[in-house]
Amino acid sequence: MNKWMKILAALTMAISMNMVLTLTAFAENEMSDLHIEVELQEDGSGVVTEHRQMNMDEGTELFINMVNLDESEVLDFSVEGFTEEPDWDSDDSREEKAGKYGTVSTDDGVELVWGIGEYGENTYTVTYTLSDLVRNLEDGQAMLWNFDTFSDIPAQNLTVEISGFQPFTQENVNFWGFGFDGDIQLEGDRIVWESNGEADGDVIVLTQFPADFFQAERTVDMTLSEQQEEAMDGSTYNSSDNSTLIVIIVSAAVGFSLLIGIGTFFFVRKTNQVKKEAGALKPIHKRIAENKGKTYAAVPFDGEDYAGLSALLTQMNLGYFEDIFQAYLLKWSVNENISMEAEEESKVFGKKYRTALTINDIEKEQNNYPLAFSELTDQIEDESYKGTYEMALWIMLLDAADRNGVVTDKSIQKWGEQHAKEVSTFADYLKDYSEAYLEQQGLFSFEEIKVFGFLQSIMVPSDEGEKLADRLIQFDNYLKESDINQFSNASKPLSLKDMMLWSALLSKSDKVSKKLEDLVPEDRYEEDRVYLQFWYGTYYTRASWTTGLASGGFHSSTSAATAAGGSGGATGVGGGAGAGGGGGGGAR
């Protein structure tokens, strides 16, 4: 073979090898799009649905490695259009696995597996449930989970969508993403996280909620801020590779922060000094510490203008606008102003009730209170409304009722969504109403102090106001320690009726509902059964109402959701410590 023939042969071999390698590279399995939907249920579990657009060229099965579950369980796994194979054999051929799905136990957990089927373009819809995704923390609830179920086959485009059993709003959820560069936002009533490019690793989501938002069972021994700090450790948010610029920015930030810190220290110290001299209501943490171990076993306040206590309850983190509404629903039920029905439904996750209330003698009530709710809020805005807050709530309920006086859970949810803006005005008015009431009762005055030229509003208790604040903390301690079975309509010093009403006022509705599921009233207290009907009716009516308000964009400083914290939205690479899940997945 001459020299040129050898060169030609070598070139031919090189080109052939390159083509083989290129074809091999193109033959790799690919995922053009992955859309993960997480639907958080009321009990804190999550139904996960993955929509996968894939081009498959090798292997016989796809798998998700479920490890690091942290006491969560994988339930109800299925693949749309496929048939379950109880005895999965990974050694079966691609043809034998086609159209089937199953599970494989491992030393560390379980694998969810399904057949690839025909090579080429395929769409797979995979669904499974993860129990206990949402956990209780010391001061709230949270989900911290790694949804990486695919990293052996990177997703060219990734979208994670998280929704709840009731709408998410800026007032009731904070959220962060860790693992890849992308944009995470609250869109409508759900969280949406979209990648800016290929995703091939962690997909960690941290969502935080107010206490008792979910009926979660498992508990994590840390606060929301501690969890956030741990998750943030090691994360980067839009970081630059320019180390010099980073040093300059960090140095400037540290210096500026130091100045702010020093200034804040002196400002806070001066503010506390001026507040103390003015006789302001002491900080809640001090009052709780002073009343530790003390209980008050009777109704802590004799009056029935529960709305009048709102400013104090809110200041002490004990009760909010939504709680006031439920308390009055209970009062109206007991006084037979309304008739309440609550029918238990069969639910996969815990008990659920369908509710309907009827306003008794609707024609008479409409004649007595002909004002429409929109007209009422107009009067509030121009400061011409002179009635009580209870009367205003009654007008609101009349507005939500049909011509027969009936208000169902569905109708009040729809009404709340349509009137959220007006209810926001109405809820804000609660603060002014309550402050005027507390001053009129001689319990508190509301004053302004000046610190370094800045005005601050303070609550100043009278001697009776100070005693009332202590009784509320002691009564709260009593409710925490009490056994639900000790209460009946005849129990002393606190009846079942009063326990329910004040539990609603002190924002304990969710906890009481859980406890009441185990309560079996004694036969001699038949009236107790009626109060249980009242409770579930008012509790689920309130829940439907607040769901509608949230959907309509309701916002108020007197709301429980607002008190829980604002919105999040950062996304970063790295971080996410403490997350469960994240076992990845691929094909074989």
DSSP 141-167: EEEEEE--S-TTS-BSSEEEEEE-SS-
How much is the pLDDT for 127? 96
Name the pTM for this structure: 0.57
Q: Where are the domains of the chain?
A: 30-235+572-587, 284-569
Q: For 293-305, what is the mean pLDDT?
A: 93
539-558 average pLDDT score: 83
Alpha carbon distance 192, 186 (integer Å)? 6
Q: Spell out the residues 6+ positions from residue 140 whose beta carbon is closer than 8 angstroms to its own.
A: 208, 209, 210, 211, 223, 224, 564, 565
Average pLDDT rounded to a whole number, residues 374-392: 96
Which of the four pLDDT bands, split at 50, 70 and 90, describes residue 566? very low
Overall average pLDDT of the 416-439 stretch: 95
Percent pLDDT > 70 in the chain is 83
Q: How confident is the model at residue 50 (pLDDT cuts 50, 70, 90)?
A: very high
Question: Is residue 576 very low, low, confident or very high in pLDDT (cuts 50, 70, 90)?
Answer: low
Residues 30 and 55 sit within 8 Å (Cβ to Cβ): yes
Binning pLDDT at 50, 70 and 90, where does residue 250 land? Answer: very low
Comparing 127-136, 399-408, 462-471, 515-524, which segment has the lowest mean pLDDT?
515-524
Calculate the average pLDDT of the chain: 83
Q: Determine the pLDDT at residue 344.
A: 76
For residue 556, the model assigns a pLDDT of: 75
Tell me the backbone φ, ψ of residue 493, rounded to 5 degrees.
-85, 0
What per-residue confidence (pLDDT) applies to 7?
47
Q: Is the pLDDT of residue 26 over 70?
A: no
Which residue has better confidence, 223 or 307? 307
Whether pLDDT at 383 is above 70: yes
Model confidence band, residue 267 (pLDDT cutoffs 50, 70, 90)? low
The per-residue pLDDT for 20 is: 43
Its CATH class, for the domain covering 30-235+572-587, is mainly beta
pLDDT in the model for residue 406: 96
Cβ atoms of 588 and 104 within 8 Å: the answer is no
How confident is the model over 196-207, as a mean pLDDT? 86
pLDDT of 137 over the 80 cut: yes
pLDDT at position 347 over 50: no
- DSSP structural state of residue 281: P
CA-based nearest residue to 387, from 375, 403, 376: 376
- Tokens at residue 212, please? 């008792």
Instruction: Determine the average pLDDT of the residues in 254-266.
Output: 64
In this predicted structure, the answer to whether residue 56 has a pLDDT above a threshold of 90 is yes
Cβ within 8 Å of residue 453, ≥6 positions away = none
Answer yes or no: is pLDDT of 226 > 70: yes
Contact assessment for residue 520 and residue 346, using Cβ atoms and an 8 Å cutoff: no
In this predicted model, which residue has the larger pLDDT, 149 or 278? 149
Strand 454-461 with 444-451, pairing: antiparallel
What pLDDT score does 264 carry?
59
pLDDT of residue 251: 56
When pLDDT is averaged across residues 8-37 and rounded to a whole number, the result is: 61
Q: State yes or no: pLDDT of 86 exceeds 80.
A: yes
What is the model's pLDDT at position 228? Answer: 79
Q: Is the pLDDT of residue 247 over 50?
A: no
* pLDDT reported for residue 230: 75
